[in-house]
Amino acid sequence: MTSASTPRRAKHPLARWRWWQVLGVAVFSFGIFGLMIGFFPAYSSAAILVGMALATIGVLASVWNWRTYAWQARFLTAAIWSLMLLALSVRSLTPVINPWWLAGVILGGTYLLAWALPARAPTVSAFLWREQMTPQTRFGRWFLALCIALIPVAGVLGASAGMLGSRFGQDKVVLIVAGLIGLAAAVAVSFASSYQLWPSRPRARE
């Protein structure tokens, strides 16, 4: 019988799934992104090794997360997702930013800031989170409405840019757009994960 003072351990949202279902979804999801890192915007043996390494860690982390729903497993799974998105952004922007290493510095700094913000500036983070989820300001409501309106056409625009960009000599435009989308997604995943995980870290409950 559980003591009243002992908090009940949270369960993974997919706790009722079979292990092979979780493994299959994880392999497919992380594998697709791993291949994208290696082949976009051009094939790179080094990039595909990085992509497959991240995908393998992501699959293992997902299964660990599903089995235990431990804080460390949730953190690692979110970190791998955000790193893969960041890798796609770096792969897209380094060919168009000179010097190339400047892209890594800017993108890496933005990525780390997204992870660190909930810990270093909780008040600012709470405001940003509220504006993302239930915006109170006019700008926040306008931005959320714009994002919702663009979701249905985002895939079509991305596919069109990829197919027609090089044909009309807009390779750099396609890379910049893809890089910015990847960066925005990496920052969003990092900030959301950090904001939700930071208060529930093991040391916070001591």
Residue 7 lies in a domain: no
Q: Which residue stretches of the chain have pLDDT < 50? A: 1-7, 153-157, 164, 168-170
* Three-class DSSP category at 99: coil
11 found inside a domain: no
Q: Whole-model pTM above 0.75?
A: yes
Question: Within a domain: residue 12?
Answer: no
**Residues 183 and 90: beta-carbon distance below 8 Å:** no
Only one residue has tokens 């989820």, namely 133
pLDDT of residue 168: 46
164-to-115, 149, 182, 183 alpha-carbon distances in Å: 35, 23, 20, 22
Domain-located, residue 2: no
Does 10 reside within a domain? no
| pLDDT at 6 (0 to 100) | 42
Alpha helices in 10-99 (DSSP H): 19-39, 45-68, 71-93
- So what's the pLDDT on residue 195? 93
Q: What's the pLDDT at 9?
A: 62
Query: Distance (Å, rounded) from C-alpha 80 to C-alpha 50?
Result: 12
Q: Tell me whether residue 1 is in a domain.
A: no
Structural domains counted in the chain: 1
Residue 157 to residues 152, 167, 176, 192: CA-CA distances in angstroms?
A: 10, 15, 14, 26
Peptide bond into 122 cis (omega under 30): no
99 lies in some domain: yes
Is residue 14 domain-resident? no
Provide the domain limits for residue 129.
19-201
Buried-exposed string 54-66: b where 16+ CB fall within 10 A, e elsewhere: bbebbbbbbbbbb
